[in-house]
Structure 1
């Protein structure tokens, strides 16, 4: 059987949270080769994914934002030697807002089968829960960290959303979430829909989706500090 690059989702919460369909878990149970973002967390995830190979005997190679682009092709070696390989991100779906996309592109270029497995994507979960336009949307990644640039970016996203009837999805480093929310509520139009989706799939999950005007009527804003959060903006 030709080797396959499996795109293996991992939990958004604790490593023991179920996130694979049973028949897909069976497909990867015998894998020995994996490309991961961080070995420590990957080992914790793999322990709960039903991998039959002893964890200490697994071949783990690292691919993250610090990986030299010129060395990514070396990660194809197990596939080239005929061994199927699993690709994991730190949380959620690999290759979505994730450096693993580089390996996926190379696998296609070399003619290997790429097989995505079903699992959680915080981006899609937030969109689903927001009530914004799910027919036309864009993920913008991180906004600028500098305040004036961040405000300009928010206004530009709102303008694009209104002009194209397009939902805008973006994220922030958790410790800056509250600052981003504050800037959005101060500078976006009252009728614009703004959703924050925090701690998705966890017991502490919180999704708040309101117009900016209605956000201002809340007795208190949610505390987003240190909580993984997806922001959804819709001005269509």
Structure 2
């Protein structure tokens, strides 16, 4: 490492301590200060690797004064490492404000790559990975959760969410209701840990499987949802026409009229109406 004051964004293991990369250990040993999401949690990690660097807290509830103290540290020519409880900082973890301000002031920011639950789960899900979206945590309230899932019904990219274990059953039930029980879903749970589970099933079957085993309702959970594959070849304009017609007419009649207007097949439009009823 050079002597330029630097903010290092350091990934740490998400479970298995053997996943700690040597470069991360070197950085954490040589910086002047480590900013951690939870100092109690991080002390165990640092102790394991015999890292004695001073530690301070930086999390979602840190004040502007806390942020200013860290920036002052960098302005004084000292390097700083940012870590989260597990995985890569800023992926559903605090740190954005610190990185943003450091870059705004021309301070060097360097990533130290390592474990990330999103990417680890995607790599073993067997779902298309050329295009995907990460949405963080689903809303805790069912009404809001269903609204989010329904808004993503026709999203063609693989969708990835974090979920709390006590909500995993309800979320799987809502995925089934919003996107259809046949939609393929993957539960990646406790990745790299002793009871790691990767289970891929249609949404309705995965809900039943998790409901029947309380052990699958514990630990850190990542949910991956297969992208939408239906209504291939149905232009957005035709769907808008169908929606206008079926708001006033029975679906069968609306599909027949829309077919005459658009030149598309009536059965294709009718099936789309069944798959995606008007809300």
Which category describes the TM-score, using the shorter chain as reference length?
0.7 to 0.9
Q: 1:214 to 1:86 in 2, by over 3 A?
A: same
Q: After TM superposition, give the deviation of residue 174 of structure 1 in Å.
A: 2.2
Q: Does 1:80 align with 2:82?
A: no
- Structure-2-length-normalised TM-score: 0.72
| Shift of residue 27, structure 1, vs aligned partner | 3.5
- Counterparts of 1:45-56 in structure 2 under 5 Å? 45-51=45-51, 53=52
User: Residues 220 and 40 from structure 1, CA distance in 2 versus in 1: closer, same or farther, beyond 3 angstroms?
Assistant: closer
Q: Whose Rg is larger?
A: 2
| CA contact 1:73–1:106 (8 Å) conserved in 2 | no
Q: Distance in 1 between matches of 2:9 and 2:110?
A: 6
**1:153-199 Cα deviation digits (max 9, x unpaired):** 2222232x2xxx21111122221112212222344224422111100
**Normalization by structure 1: what TM-score?**
0.84
**In the alignment, is the contact (CA less than 8 A) between 2:28 and 2:34 conserved in 1?**
no
Write out aligned runs for 1:53-72 (5 A). 53=52, 58=54, 60-69=55-64, 71-72=66-67
CA contact (8 A) 1:141 1:169 kept: yes
Structure 1 unaligned blocks of 5 or more: none
Residue 230 of structure 1 deviates from its aligned partner by 0.6
CA RMSD in angstroms, aligned pairs only = 2.3
CA shift, 1:148, in A, is 2.5
Change (3 A) 1:32 1:217: closer
CA deviations 1:59-117 (Å, max 9, x no partner) are x3322121235642332122111111110101111121111122111111111221111
> 8 Å contact 1:4–1:112 — kept in the other structure?
yes
Counterpart position of 1:132: 127
Q: Is the 8 A contact 1:191 1:235 kept in 2?
A: no
- Matches for 1:128-167 after TM superposition, within 5 Å: 128-159=123-154, 161=155, 165-167=156-158
2:89 maps to which of 80, 91, 94: 94
Q: Which residue in 2 is equivalent to 1:175?
A: 166
Task: Tell me which of the two structures has the higher relative contact order, counting C-alpha pairs closer than 8 angstroms and 6 or more residues apart.
Answer: 1
State the aligned residue count: 225
For 1:20 and 1:61, the matched residues in 2 are separated by 21
